[in-house]
Amino acid sequence: MPIIDAVLDDFFWRALIGGFGVALVAGPLGCFVVWRRMAYFGDTLAHSALLGIALSFLISVPLNVGVIITCVVLAIALVLFSRSRALATDTLLGILAHSALAIGLVTLSFMPDVRVDLTGLLFGDLLAMSRADLAWIYGGAAVILILLATLWRGLLMSTIHEELAKVEGIPVERLRLVLMLMFSLVIAVAMKIVGVLLITALLIIPAATARRLAHSPEHMTLMAMVFGFIAVGGGLSLSWHLDTPAGPSVVVTAFSVFLLVYGSARRAPS
Amino acid sequence: MPEALVTLNQLSVALDGRPVVDRVNLRLDRGDIITIIGPNGAGKTTLIKAILGMQKITEGSVKLAQALTIGYVPQHLSLETTLPLTVRRFMSLSGCASAQCQAALEKTGVGHLMDSSIHHLSGGERQRLLLARALARRPDLLVLDEPAQGVDINGQAALYDLIRQLRDELNCGVIMISHDLHLVMAATDRVICLNQHVCCSGYPADISHDPAFIETFGQPVAESLAVYHHRHNHQHDLHGDVVSGKTLGDEHSRECDHAHH
């Protein structure tokens, strides 16, 4: 179709469409990050994405696949380590986040033949969005949204009170794993837009903004999506017009909206 | 003999090699109320978690009746304030019909809070909400971990009364942990005093002068229980409605006599 082709041939529109796809899933997943106090955990996974990229080059698999697998392995390792309680969780996360990032950077430096746009990976790149990336984003978003819709009650209940959920027969452990899988997926697809260092911001800030106005978990999820759209739309426009880096522009927009909402809106009743 | 709801057989739990629950045997039938008491670190919560399947068992076994619906009232409902939640939504997450949820809330006396935010409830209201949630599922077994925490003294007596009443209505079994020795003695059928192992168990009237009980809680506590009931009997007019139950008062006055002679 000529109209769609015309739109998809324009890199700005590609980036915008991709960004909206990311915001669609970053909203609900961001709510879970906020509710479950997983901000630092999300950050650790995102940092490990760079290690995933380096490994993908090393064994020549598609970047997205490498990132997803690395994130999942790290997530499982985190869960297992934190169970042993030898170290406080935040210490453990700090160690793994920065070690993964560092190992990724060191590994990349060993491969002089591989040309990577490091700034683009770390902070996002407006120009980098390909049609294949769009397919990844919307494919990933569809999987995540379907999972969220079918598992919603269990996910919500195990977030509110894990033990109560367990007694009521909700498979808490399995749901935690599914949630981590979804995080890994969203990190792999959001990486191109906002970069690995800023993904957590796109998850948390819209969700936190939504909290101010929301009166139910579902309402908060939808609002977070809307604030995500605003952040992506505003940020990419900023990046396009002022030639600023894409990821930071998206985060700056999200933060401005956050300040605006917290400054002006009355607190929601509940 | 009908099937027991819960049968514990030589149940032991060790954490890092340290025994926390040691060879506990227990049988709970429909209509029973068993209260677990014991000092801090006695393994009360661990025991309950083992029954609920949340704690790995080192030795022995937990046998639950087939198709058992469990209502659980956790020690506290610590909620993330970032999650906007009304009482109505919290209740509906149990998967029960809304009429059933409403009825359960009415029963525990918090029906008027249906549309309030869960974050604005007081400690006592939260306990009642948790109880309502457990209730809405029409449990065969009700497990309560210090249900009266954060509830004032009048509310505590009322709460224990309510638990007994629910037992009668649902014909369910009840296991609860409690620290409120005085109220427990009045409100329960059977008391298990746990200090890793079951140091004594039996009816409230008998247990407070069991040597093992006195050893665990100390002579002053055991005596205070006796004295408490004694004073309660004699100063009833002054104290008014502190603790309910006349028949129980009689029981305790007997217990008093034993303790002082």
B61 lies in the same domain as B165: yes
A269 CB neighbours in chain B (<8 A) are 117
pLDDT surpasses 70 at A196 = yes
pLDDT tens, A15-58?
Answer: 899 999 999 999 999 999 999 988 888 889 888 998 998 999 88
- pTM for the model stands at 0.83
pLDDT in tens, A82-132: 777 777 888 888 898 899 999 998 998 888 777 778 888 888 887 778 888
Contact indicator for B88, B115 with CB cutoff of 8 Å: yes
pLDDT at B234: 34
For residue A268, the chain B residues in CB contact (below 8 A) are 84
The Cβ of residue B21 has, within 10 Å, a number of other Cβ atoms equal to 29
CA B250 to chain centre: 23
Residue B78 located in a structural domain: no
What is the least distance, in Å, from the CA of A19 to any CA of chain B?
A: 25
The verdict on residue B181 lying in a domain is yes
Helix (H, G, I), strand (E, B) or coil at B47: helix
Give the pLDDT score at A251.
93
Q: Looking at the domain assignment, is residue B75 inside a domain? A: no
pLDDT tens digit sequence for A218-251: 999 999 999 999 999 999 999 889 988 888 999 9
Interhelix angle A11-35/A217-242, rounded to 10 degrees, is: 140
- Residue that is last in its domain, among B116, B138, B160: B138
Provide the shortest C-alpha distance from residue A86 to chain B (in Å): 13
**Count of A-B CB contacts under 8 Å:** 67
Q: Are residues B149 and B134 in the same domain?
A: no
One domain, residues B164 and B38? yes
The alpha-carbon gap from A114 to the nearest alpha carbon of chain B, in Å, equals 44
Do both B115 and B240 map to the same domain?
no
Q: Up-side HSE of residue A180: CA atoms within 13 Å toward CB?
A: 20
Is B131 in the same domain as B148?
no
Say how far apart CA A1 and CA B48 lie, in whole Å: 64
Assess if residue B76 is contained within a domain: no
Please give the DSSP secondary-structure letter assigned to residue B241: S
B154 in the same domain as B228: yes
Domain boundary among B95, B121, B138: B138
Interchain proximity A164–B85, CB inside 8 Å: no
Residues of chain B contacting A215 with CB distance shorter than 8 Å: 84, 86
B163 and B104 both lie in a single domain: no
Rounded distance between C-alpha atoms, residue B13 and residue B58, angstroms: 5
Do A157 and B80 count as a contact with CB atoms less than 8 A apart? no
- With a cut of 60, say whether residue B241 has pLDDT above it: no
Mark whether B161 and B242 lie in a shared domain. yes
- Pair (B169, B148) in one structural domain: yes
Residue percentage of chain B with pLDDT more than 70: 80
Residues B147 and B35 in one domain: yes
Lowest mean pLDDT among A1-10, B135-144, B172-181, B194-203: A1-10
Rounded to whole angstroms, the Cα distance separating A232 from B182 reads: 61
Q: Which of B5, B14, B21, B2 is nearest to B177 (CA)?
A: B21
User: Could you tell me the residue range of the domain that residue B63 belongs to?
Assistant: 4-69+143-257
Please check whether residue B201 lies inside any domain of the structure. yes
Calculate how close chain B gets to A3, using CA atoms only, in Å. Answer: 42
Of B84, B90, B118, the CB nearest to A220: B84
Please answer yes or no on whether B84 and A216 come within 8 Å at the CB atom.
yes
pLDDT (tens digit per residue) in B182-218:
777 666 778 888 888 887 777 776 776 677 777 777 7
Best B80, B82, B101 member to test A by mutation, with max A CBs in 10 Å, is: B82
Among the partner-chain residues A34, A163, A167, the one whose CB lies closest to the CB of B82 is A34
Chain A, nearest residue to B137 by Cα: A168
Location of structure tokens 């549309």? B115
Report yes or no on B77 lying in a domain: no
Contact list in A for residue B95 (CB cut-off 8 A) is 153, 168
Give the number of domains in chain B. 2
Q: Within a domain: residue B79?
A: no
Of B83, B93, B137, the CB nearest to A153: B93
Q: What is the pLDDT of residue B261?
A: 36
Residues of A in contact with B120 (CB under 8 A): 270
Average pLDDT over residues B18-36: 88
Per-residue pLDDT, B1: 62
Q: What is the pLDDT of residues B70-121, one digit of tens each?
A: 999 988 778 888 999 999 999 999 888 989 999 999 988 889 999 999 999 8
**Residues B239, B153 within the same domain:** yes
Q: What is the CATH number of the domain that holds B44?
A: 3.40.50.300
Tokens of B163: 């638990």
Are residues B147 and B37 located together in one domain of the fold?
Answer: yes
Chain A residues in contact with B145 (beta carbon < 8 A): none
Most B CBs within 10 Å, among A85, A155, A167, A267, to test the B interface: A167
B53 φ, ψ to 5°?
80, 20
Condensed to tens digits (0 to 9), the pLDDT of residues B243-259 reads 433 433 333 333 333 33
Residue B184 located in a structural domain:
yes
What per-residue confidence (pLDDT) applies to B142? 93
A219 contacts in B (CB within 8 Å)? Answer: 84
Q: Looking at residue B224, what is its pLDDT?
A: 60
